Amino acid sequence: MKIFVTGGAGYIGSHVVKALGSKGHEILVYDNLSTGHLWAVLYGRLIQGDLSDAAFLEDTIAAFQPEAVIHFAASIQVEESVREPLKYYRNNVANTLNLLEAMNHCGICNLIYSSTAAVYGIPETIPVSEIAPLCPINPYGVSKAMVESILKDLAKSGSFSYIALRYFNVAGADPEGLIGQAYAEATHLITRSLKTAKGEYDRLSIYGTDYPTPDGSCIRDYIHVNDLADAHVAALEHLMAGNGSEIMNCGYGHGFSVKEVVAAAKHVTGIDFTVVETGHRAGDPPALVANSSRLRNKTGWTPRYDDLELIIRTAWEWEKRLSQMATSRK
Ligand code: UFG
Protein backbone atom coordinates (compact mmCIF):
# COMPACT_ATOMS: atom_id res chain seq x y z
CA MET A 1 0.00 0.00 0.00
CA LYS A 2 1.16 3.59 -0.66
CA ILE A 3 1.21 5.55 2.59
CA PHE A 4 1.96 9.26 3.07
CA VAL A 5 3.43 9.89 6.54
CA THR A 6 3.70 13.40 7.97
CA GLY A 7 6.30 13.66 10.72
CA GLY A 8 7.76 10.29 9.75
CA ALA A 9 11.28 11.40 10.68
CA GLY A 10 10.27 11.99 14.30
CA TYR A 11 10.38 9.68 17.30
CA ILE A 12 7.07 7.84 16.93
CA GLY A 13 6.80 8.37 13.17
CA SER A 14 10.16 6.74 12.48
CA HIS A 15 9.21 3.61 14.45
CA VAL A 16 5.92 3.37 12.54
CA VAL A 17 7.71 3.87 9.21
CA LYS A 18 10.01 0.99 10.15
CA ALA A 19 7.07 -1.25 11.09
CA LEU A 20 5.23 -0.46 7.83
CA GLY A 21 8.34 -0.53 5.64
CA SER A 22 9.37 -3.93 6.93
CA LYS A 23 5.94 -5.21 5.83
CA GLY A 24 6.60 -4.00 2.27
CA HIS A 25 4.49 -0.84 2.17
CA GLU A 26 5.60 2.05 -0.04
CA ILE A 27 6.16 5.11 2.10
CA LEU A 28 6.62 8.81 1.46
CA VAL A 29 7.61 10.80 4.54
CA TYR A 30 6.80 14.52 4.63
CA ASP A 31 8.72 16.21 7.43
CA ASN A 32 10.19 19.68 8.03
CA LEU A 33 13.00 18.10 10.12
CA SER A 34 12.38 20.63 12.91
CA THR A 35 12.54 17.82 15.48
CA GLY A 36 12.97 14.79 13.21
CA HIS A 37 16.11 13.41 11.59
CA LEU A 38 16.97 12.17 8.13
CA TRP A 39 18.82 9.17 9.61
CA ALA A 40 15.64 8.06 11.37
CA VAL A 41 13.80 7.28 8.14
CA LEU A 42 14.76 3.67 7.50
CA TYR A 43 12.26 2.96 4.70
CA GLY A 44 10.76 4.89 1.80
CA ARG A 45 11.57 8.41 0.64
CA LEU A 46 11.64 11.67 2.56
CA ILE A 47 10.48 15.01 1.23
CA GLN A 48 11.46 17.96 3.39
CA GLY A 49 8.40 20.15 3.58
CA ASP A 50 6.22 22.04 6.01
CA LEU A 51 2.51 21.49 6.50
CA SER A 52 2.06 25.27 6.46
CA ASP A 53 3.09 25.25 2.78
CA ALA A 54 -0.34 24.18 1.56
CA ALA A 55 0.47 24.32 -2.17
CA PHE A 56 3.65 22.23 -1.88
CA LEU A 57 1.89 19.78 0.44
CA GLU A 58 -0.96 19.29 -2.01
CA ASP A 59 1.39 18.95 -5.00
CA THR A 60 3.37 16.31 -3.11
CA ILE A 61 0.27 14.31 -2.19
CA ALA A 62 -1.14 14.65 -5.72
CA ALA A 63 2.09 13.31 -7.22
CA PHE A 64 2.35 10.36 -4.80
CA GLN A 65 -1.37 9.36 -4.81
CA PRO A 66 -1.33 7.49 -1.48
CA GLU A 67 -4.13 5.19 -0.40
CA ALA A 68 -3.79 6.35 3.21
CA VAL A 69 -2.21 9.12 5.27
CA ILE A 70 -0.72 8.85 8.76
CA HIS A 71 -0.43 12.24 10.44
CA PHE A 72 2.20 12.59 13.18
CA ALA A 73 3.61 16.05 12.54
CA ALA A 74 2.65 18.21 15.51
CA SER A 75 3.91 20.08 18.56
CA ILE A 76 3.65 17.74 21.53
CA GLN A 77 4.82 19.24 24.81
CA VAL A 78 2.20 19.92 27.43
CA GLU A 79 4.13 22.55 29.37
CA GLU A 80 5.26 24.43 26.26
CA SER A 81 1.65 24.55 25.06
CA VAL A 82 0.68 26.43 28.21
CA ARG A 83 3.40 29.03 27.51
CA GLU A 84 2.93 29.20 23.72
CA PRO A 85 -0.68 28.30 22.93
CA LEU A 86 -0.70 29.94 19.49
CA LYS A 87 2.13 27.69 18.33
CA TYR A 88 -0.08 24.71 19.20
CA TYR A 89 -3.19 26.01 17.46
CA ARG A 90 -1.13 26.94 14.38
CA ASN A 91 0.89 23.70 14.12
CA ASN A 92 -1.70 21.24 15.32
CA VAL A 93 -4.99 22.69 14.08
CA ALA A 94 -4.34 25.07 11.16
CA ASN A 95 -1.68 22.82 9.62
CA THR A 96 -3.92 19.77 9.97
CA LEU A 97 -6.60 21.67 8.04
CA ASN A 98 -4.07 22.14 5.22
CA LEU A 99 -3.47 18.39 5.21
CA LEU A 100 -7.18 17.52 5.24
CA GLU A 101 -7.91 19.99 2.43
CA ALA A 102 -5.05 18.59 0.35
CA MET A 103 -6.35 15.04 0.94
CA ASN A 104 -9.85 16.17 0.02
CA HIS A 105 -8.71 17.80 -3.23
CA CYS A 106 -6.72 14.67 -4.15
CA GLY A 107 -9.53 12.25 -3.27
CA ILE A 108 -7.57 10.55 -0.45
CA CYS A 109 -10.01 9.52 2.24
CA ASN A 110 -8.22 7.30 4.80
CA LEU A 111 -6.36 8.80 7.75
CA ILE A 112 -4.67 7.54 10.90
CA TYR A 113 -4.44 10.48 13.28
CA SER A 114 -2.09 10.90 16.26
CA SER A 115 -4.26 12.03 19.14
CA THR A 116 -3.44 11.97 22.82
CA ALA A 117 -4.62 11.03 26.28
CA ALA A 118 -4.33 14.76 27.03
CA VAL A 119 -7.80 15.20 25.45
CA TYR A 120 -9.33 13.70 28.62
CA GLY A 121 -7.95 16.30 31.03
CA ILE A 122 -8.49 14.95 34.54
CA PRO A 123 -10.60 11.82 33.95
CA GLU A 124 -13.30 10.94 36.47
CA THR A 125 -12.61 7.22 36.09
CA ILE A 126 -9.26 5.45 35.74
CA PRO A 127 -8.57 3.54 33.51
CA VAL A 128 -10.24 5.98 31.13
CA SER A 129 -12.18 4.69 28.12
CA GLU A 130 -12.84 6.41 24.80
CA ILE A 131 -16.40 7.34 25.76
CA ALA A 132 -15.25 9.52 28.67
CA PRO A 133 -15.95 13.25 28.20
CA LEU A 134 -13.17 15.34 26.67
CA CYS A 135 -12.10 18.10 29.07
CA PRO A 136 -8.47 18.94 28.16
CA ILE A 137 -6.64 21.13 30.68
CA ASN A 138 -3.85 22.40 28.45
CA PRO A 139 -3.68 23.92 24.93
CA TYR A 140 -1.93 20.80 23.59
CA GLY A 141 -4.89 18.63 24.59
CA VAL A 142 -7.37 21.24 23.33
CA SER A 143 -5.63 21.41 19.94
CA LYS A 144 -5.85 17.61 19.55
CA ALA A 145 -9.50 17.53 20.69
CA MET A 146 -10.31 20.28 18.14
CA VAL A 147 -8.87 18.15 15.34
CA GLU A 148 -10.83 15.13 16.56
CA SER A 149 -14.02 17.24 16.22
CA ILE A 150 -13.02 18.28 12.70
CA LEU A 151 -12.40 14.63 11.74
CA LYS A 152 -15.77 13.59 13.12
CA ASP A 153 -17.56 16.23 11.04
CA LEU A 154 -15.54 15.39 7.95
CA ALA A 155 -16.37 11.69 8.26
CA LYS A 156 -20.09 12.55 8.53
CA SER A 157 -19.94 14.68 5.40
CA GLY A 158 -18.76 12.08 2.91
CA SER A 159 -16.53 9.11 2.26
CA PHE A 160 -13.68 10.17 4.57
CA SER A 161 -12.70 7.60 7.26
CA TYR A 162 -10.20 7.85 10.07
CA ILE A 163 -8.87 6.22 13.18
CA ALA A 164 -7.72 8.60 15.91
CA LEU A 165 -5.21 6.89 18.21
CA ARG A 166 -5.06 8.47 21.65
CA TYR A 167 -1.50 7.89 22.81
CA PHE A 168 -0.66 7.62 26.47
CA ASN A 169 3.01 8.01 27.52
CA VAL A 170 5.20 6.72 24.74
CA ALA A 171 8.70 5.64 25.74
CA GLY A 172 11.54 3.25 24.91
CA ALA A 173 13.36 2.66 21.65
CA ASP A 174 13.57 0.04 18.93
CA PRO A 175 15.79 -2.77 20.34
CA GLU A 176 17.60 -3.06 16.99
CA GLY A 177 19.30 0.17 18.00
CA LEU A 178 19.00 2.35 14.87
CA ILE A 179 16.22 4.70 16.01
CA GLY A 180 14.95 6.23 19.24
CA GLN A 181 14.02 9.53 20.81
CA ALA A 182 16.41 12.32 19.83
CA TYR A 183 14.94 15.72 20.66
CA ALA A 184 17.22 18.71 21.19
CA GLU A 185 15.74 19.18 24.67
CA ALA A 186 14.61 16.19 26.76
CA THR A 187 11.41 16.91 28.68
CA HIS A 188 9.82 13.45 28.96
CA LEU A 189 10.30 11.68 32.27
CA ILE A 190 12.09 8.50 31.17
CA THR A 191 14.43 10.27 28.72
CA ARG A 192 15.15 13.03 31.21
CA SER A 193 15.93 10.46 33.95
CA LEU A 194 18.33 8.55 31.68
CA LYS A 195 20.08 11.71 30.49
CA THR A 196 20.49 12.68 34.14
CA ALA A 197 22.00 9.23 34.79
CA LYS A 198 24.40 9.90 31.89
CA GLY A 199 25.38 13.22 33.48
CA GLU A 200 23.81 15.51 30.85
CA TYR A 201 21.72 17.12 33.60
CA ASP A 202 22.86 17.51 37.19
CA ARG A 203 19.53 16.47 38.72
CA LEU A 204 16.04 15.22 37.95
CA SER A 205 13.10 17.24 39.28
CA ILE A 206 9.97 15.43 40.37
CA TYR A 207 7.19 17.88 39.55
CA GLY A 208 4.88 17.53 42.52
CA THR A 209 4.54 15.05 45.35
CA ASP A 210 1.18 16.20 46.72
CA TYR A 211 -1.10 14.87 43.99
CA PRO A 212 -4.05 12.65 45.04
CA THR A 213 -2.13 9.44 44.20
CA PRO A 214 -0.71 6.76 46.56
CA ASP A 215 2.81 8.27 46.68
CA GLY A 216 1.80 11.83 45.76
CA SER A 217 3.51 11.87 42.34
CA CYS A 218 1.69 11.70 38.98
CA ILE A 219 0.72 8.37 37.45
CA ARG A 220 1.06 7.64 33.73
CA ASP A 221 0.58 4.61 31.45
CA TYR A 222 3.96 4.11 29.70
CA ILE A 223 3.72 2.29 26.35
CA HIS A 224 6.73 1.07 24.39
CA VAL A 225 7.11 2.85 21.07
CA ASN A 226 7.26 -0.45 19.14
CA ASP A 227 3.94 -1.55 20.65
CA LEU A 228 2.53 1.81 19.59
CA ALA A 229 3.96 1.24 16.09
CA ASP A 230 2.22 -2.15 15.97
CA ALA A 231 -1.02 -0.39 17.02
CA HIS A 232 -0.69 1.87 13.95
CA VAL A 233 -0.23 -1.11 11.64
CA ALA A 234 -3.23 -2.84 13.21
CA ALA A 235 -5.36 0.32 13.04
CA LEU A 236 -4.45 0.92 9.39
CA GLU A 237 -5.37 -2.65 8.46
CA HIS A 238 -8.66 -2.25 10.38
CA LEU A 239 -9.45 1.01 8.58
CA MET A 240 -8.54 -0.26 5.12
CA ALA A 241 -10.72 -3.34 5.65
CA GLY A 242 -13.65 -0.91 5.56
CA ASN A 243 -14.53 -0.97 9.24
CA GLY A 244 -15.28 2.76 9.44
CA SER A 245 -14.06 5.56 11.64
CA GLU A 246 -12.97 4.88 15.19
CA ILE A 247 -11.18 6.35 18.20
CA MET A 248 -8.84 4.07 20.16
CA ASN A 249 -6.75 4.49 23.30
CA CYS A 250 -3.15 3.27 23.08
CA GLY A 251 -1.79 2.25 26.45
CA TYR A 252 -1.36 -0.89 28.54
CA GLY A 253 -4.05 -0.28 31.15
CA HIS A 254 -1.83 0.17 34.18
CA GLY A 255 0.20 3.08 35.38
CA PHE A 256 3.37 3.93 37.29
CA SER A 257 4.04 6.96 39.44
CA VAL A 258 6.89 9.35 38.71
CA LYS A 259 8.67 8.03 41.81
CA GLU A 260 8.30 4.43 40.58
CA VAL A 261 9.69 5.35 37.17
CA VAL A 262 12.67 7.12 38.73
CA ALA A 263 13.39 4.09 40.94
CA ALA A 264 13.19 1.79 37.89
CA ALA A 265 15.54 4.08 35.93
CA LYS A 266 18.06 3.94 38.78
CA HIS A 267 17.75 0.15 38.89
CA VAL A 268 18.21 -0.32 35.14
CA THR A 269 21.17 2.06 34.87
CA GLY A 270 22.74 1.17 38.21
CA ILE A 271 23.29 4.92 38.71
CA ASP A 272 21.99 6.74 41.77
CA PHE A 273 21.43 10.12 40.07
CA THR A 274 20.30 13.17 42.04
CA VAL A 275 16.57 13.71 42.38
CA VAL A 276 14.83 16.79 43.84
CA GLU A 277 11.16 17.32 44.56
CA THR A 278 9.76 20.58 43.19
CA GLY A 279 6.38 22.20 42.53
CA HIS A 280 3.81 21.17 39.95
CA ARG A 281 4.52 21.57 36.24
CA ALA A 282 1.77 23.56 34.48
CA GLY A 283 -0.87 21.50 32.71
CA ASP A 284 -0.17 18.12 34.38
CA PRO A 285 -3.16 15.91 35.34
CA PRO A 286 -2.61 13.64 38.39
CA ALA A 287 -3.25 10.30 36.64
CA LEU A 288 -3.74 9.04 33.07
CA VAL A 289 -4.19 5.32 32.48
CA ALA A 290 -5.78 3.80 29.38
CA ASN A 291 -8.61 1.37 29.01
CA SER A 292 -7.31 -0.12 25.77
CA SER A 293 -9.87 -2.90 25.32
CA ARG A 294 -11.26 -1.29 22.17
CA LEU A 295 -7.86 -1.40 20.40
CA ARG A 296 -7.22 -4.96 21.61
CA ASN A 297 -10.67 -6.30 20.74
CA LYS A 298 -11.25 -4.57 17.42
CA THR A 299 -7.78 -4.91 15.89
CA GLY A 300 -6.31 -7.91 17.73
CA TRP A 301 -3.38 -5.75 18.94
CA THR A 302 -1.31 -7.51 21.61
CA PRO A 303 1.58 -5.70 23.28
CA ARG A 304 5.08 -7.23 23.27
CA TYR A 305 6.92 -4.88 25.64
CA ASP A 306 4.53 -4.41 28.57
CA ASP A 307 7.26 -4.22 31.23
CA LEU A 308 8.49 -0.90 32.64
CA GLU A 309 12.09 -2.06 33.16
CA LEU A 310 12.22 -3.48 29.63
CA ILE A 311 10.97 -0.16 28.23
CA ILE A 312 13.59 1.74 30.23
CA ARG A 313 16.32 -0.73 29.22
CA THR A 314 15.62 -0.17 25.50
CA ALA A 315 15.69 3.60 26.09
CA TRP A 316 18.95 3.25 28.05
CA GLU A 317 20.61 1.27 25.23
CA TRP A 318 19.51 4.01 22.83
CA GLU A 319 20.89 6.75 25.09
CA LYS A 320 24.25 4.98 25.15
CA ARG A 321 24.18 4.75 21.37
CA LEU A 322 23.40 8.48 21.10
CA SER A 323 26.48 9.17 23.24
CA GLN A 324 28.59 6.96 20.94
CA MET A 325 27.22 8.78 17.87
CA ALA A 326 28.08 12.14 19.45
CA THR A 327 31.62 10.94 20.28
CA SER A 328 32.23 9.56 16.80
CA ARG A 329 31.14 12.90 15.23
CA LYS A 330 33.85 14.78 17.21
N1 UFG B 1 7.99 14.64 35.09
C2 UFG B 1 8.81 14.94 36.17
N3 UFG B 1 10.07 15.36 35.89
C4 UFG B 1 10.55 15.51 34.62
C5 UFG B 1 9.70 15.20 33.54
C6 UFG B 1 8.42 14.76 33.81
O7 UFG B 1 8.39 14.83 37.32
O8 UFG B 1 11.70 15.93 34.46
C9 UFG B 1 6.62 14.15 35.36
C10 UFG B 1 5.54 15.05 34.76
O11 UFG B 1 5.23 16.09 35.64
C12 UFG B 1 4.41 14.04 34.55
C13 UFG B 1 5.13 12.72 34.26
O14 UFG B 1 6.47 12.91 34.73
O15 UFG B 1 3.71 13.88 35.74
C16 UFG B 1 5.19 12.40 32.80
O17 UFG B 1 5.67 13.55 32.10
P18 UFG B 1 6.15 13.51 30.59
O19 UFG B 1 6.70 14.87 30.27
O20 UFG B 1 7.04 12.34 30.39
O21 UFG B 1 4.83 13.22 29.79
P22 UFG B 1 3.39 13.92 29.90
O23 UFG B 1 2.51 13.01 30.72
O24 UFG B 1 3.47 15.33 30.30
O25 UFG B 1 2.93 13.94 28.40
C26 UFG B 1 3.05 12.81 27.57
C27 UFG B 1 3.15 13.30 26.14
C28 UFG B 1 1.90 13.98 25.76
C29 UFG B 1 0.71 13.07 26.03
C30 UFG B 1 0.71 12.56 27.44
C31 UFG B 1 -0.41 11.55 27.59
O32 UFG B 1 4.25 14.21 26.01
O33 UFG B 1 1.98 14.26 24.39
O34 UFG B 1 1.96 11.95 27.72
O35 UFG B 1 -0.42 10.89 28.80
F36 UFG B 1 -0.42 13.75 25.86
pLDDT score at 205: 98
Summarize pLDDT for 156-174 with one digit per residue, the tens. Answer: 998 999 999 999 999 999 9
Q: Are 252 and 182 in contact (CB under 8 A)?
A: no
| CA angle 110–57–147, rounded 5-degree value | 50
> What is residue 183's predicted lDDT score, i.e. its pLDDT?
87
Question: Does position 283 have pLDDT exceeding 90, yes or no?
Answer: no
Architecture (CATH level 2) of domain 2-171+221-250: 3-Layer(aba) Sandwich (3.40)
Residue of 115, 220, 222, 223 best suited for mutating to test ligand 1, as the one with most atoms within 8 Å of CB:
220
Antiparallel, parallel or unpaired: β 256-257 and 219-220? antiparallel
Q: How far apart are CA 10 and CA 40, in angstroms?
A: 7
Average pLDDT value for residue range 27-44 = 98
Short-list 222, 231, 225, CA closest to 297: 231
Q: Which atom of ligand 1 is nearest to the CA of 192?
A: 8
Sign of the Cα torsion 24, 27, 33, 36 reads negative
- Please state the rounded mean pLDDT for residues 271-282: 96
Is pLDDT at 191 greater than 80 in this prediction? yes
Question: Does the structure show a pLDDT above 80 at 329?
Answer: no
The predicted-structure confidence for 59-96, as pLDDT tens digits, reads as follows 999 999 999 999 999 999 998 999 999 999 999 999 99
Instruction: Give the binding-site residues of ligand 1, using a 6 Å CB cut-off.
Output: 76, 78, 116-118, 168-169, 187-189, 192, 204-207, 218, 220, 258, 281, 284, 288
Round to whole Å and give the CA distance between 183 and 311.
18
206-248 pLDDT, tens digit per residue, is 999 999 999 999 999 999 999 999 999 999 999 999 999 999 9
More confident residue, 183 or 277: 277
CA–centroid distance, 1 to ligand 1, in Å, is 35
Rg (CA), the chain: 19
Return the CATH architecture of domain 189-220+254-291+307-329. Alpha-Beta Complex (3.90)
Q: Is the pLDDT of residue 325 over 90?
A: no
Average pLDDT over residues 125-147: 97
Amino acid in position 102: A
Examine the pLDDT at 330 and tell me if it is beyond 80: no
The domain ranges of the chain are 2-171+221-250, 189-220+254-291+307-329
| Confidence at residue 326, expressed as pLDDT on a 0 to 100 scale | 84
**Higher-scoring residue by pLDDT: 327, 149:** 149
Alpha-carbon dihedral sign for residues 323, 251, 30, 134: negative
